[in-house]
């Protein structure tokens, strides 16, 4: 039961981060497609900034789970944020 709750939080955290990333691309992109804006962000070195803005949505989800007293789901969101942070670090500095 606990593992299921953490897994649900993890998936929700990944989805929230992806949705936040897409919203950041749409807001700060130059009106091109999402794929083109993604490639440009990697080439110009501001990919990690877009991912950081996408992670702001994780903050909202985390506090929503805390308010609903779903602590294990909140742990999953934190785990997803850590995984995305490590992946972004490896993509950016490799």
Residue 94 has pLDDT above 70, yes or no: no
Residue 29 has pLDDT above 70, yes or no: yes
Residue 93 has pLDDT above 80, yes or no: no
d(CA 50, CA 53): 5
Contact (CB, 8 A) for 9 and 74: yes
Copy the structure tokens of residue 1.
């039961």
φ/ψ of 31, rounded to 5, equals 80, 15
Model confidence band, residue 59 (pLDDT cutoffs 50, 70, 90): very high
Residue 22, Cβ neighbours under 10 Å: how many? Answer: 16
- For position 52, what pLDDT does the model report? 85
* Helix H or strand E encompassing 40: helix 34-44
Question: How large a percentage of the chain has pLDDT more than 90?
Answer: 50
């Amino acid at each position: 039961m606990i593992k299921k709750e953490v897994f649900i939080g993890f998936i929700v955290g990944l989805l929230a981060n992806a949705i936040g990333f897409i919203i950041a691309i749409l807001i700060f992109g130059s009106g091109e497609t999402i794929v083109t804006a993604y490639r440009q962000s990697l080439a110009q070195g501001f990919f990690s900034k877009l991912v950081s803005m996408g992670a702001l949505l994780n903050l909202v989800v985390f506090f929503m789970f805390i308010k609903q007293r779903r602590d294990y789901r909140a742990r999953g969101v934190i785990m997803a944020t850590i995984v995305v942070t490590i992946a972004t670090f490896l993509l950016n500095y490799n």
